[in-house]
Structure 1
């Protein structure tokens, strides 16, 4: 009886430890919905929302204006990742051409960086 009890204890302990352990892929840290705030633009702070997804191993998405002022979504032309800690999003604008938005991981739900190396930017993960 002791052997059966010991076996069941070890069995349930191993199941519990697998359920508790983190199995997320660090390269998928950026996947999800983010609210990006760009401070100090000529029209004040600008807010964009993006939902990044991974297709064929690369991040993709588009930028949307949640206020509805600009109803057209802006396509992201490319995204560069560095070890799950840094992210650079490139997109085109009519006024300035291709713009780079560099963001770095602060914690599990926050990013901080610069737009065109001039304007402070932050991003907050939107939880569903």
Structure 2
């Protein structure tokens, strides 16, 4: 009888744990669409990078427009984990990483290369 209680308690614990983490599953819908990302304090001053994310068949892809360019370039990677998206791409000859975290429905914050503050604003 004690082993049945132990098994039932274990099953309830695992179910509760699953419910607790269900709200923290990656949500690509938040990042969908166009963003203007302000990168602060680079050696060339502050810079704005227009960025767009789309998710097809569960895979998120990022695109950006380099200063002076007319067409978007595809990012090397865009990985969502919870309310954070981590990207990597080459811009102006530099391989960079950009991490953004959800602040509210239309704003995000993070960093470029772990060195420069980044603020994202959804384009409406």
Normalization by structure 1: what TM-score?
Answer: 0.69
RMSD (CA atoms): 2.0
* Within-5 A mapping of 1:74-113: 74-83=73-82, 85-93=83-91, 95-97=93-95, 99-113=96-110
Structure 1, unaligned runs of 5 or more = 1-24
Match of 1:61? 62
Contact persistence 2:75–2:87 (CA under 8 A): yes
CA distance in 1, matches of 2:104, 2:92: 33
Aligned-partner SS, 2:76? strand
Contact persistence 2:52–2:63 (CA under 8 A): yes
Q: Deviations over 1:35-94 (max 9, x none)?
A: 1110111111111112211122111131114xx5344533201011112x1111110246
The more displaced of 48-57 and 71-80 is 71-80
Number of residue pairs aligned between Structure 1 and Structure 2:
99
Aligned-partner SS, 1:28? helix
Structure 2, unaligned runs of 5 or more = 1-25
Contact persistence 1:75–1:92 (CA under 8 A): no
Normalization by structure 2: what TM-score?
Answer: 0.71
The more displaced of 42-51 and 105-114 is 42-51
Match of 1:38? 39
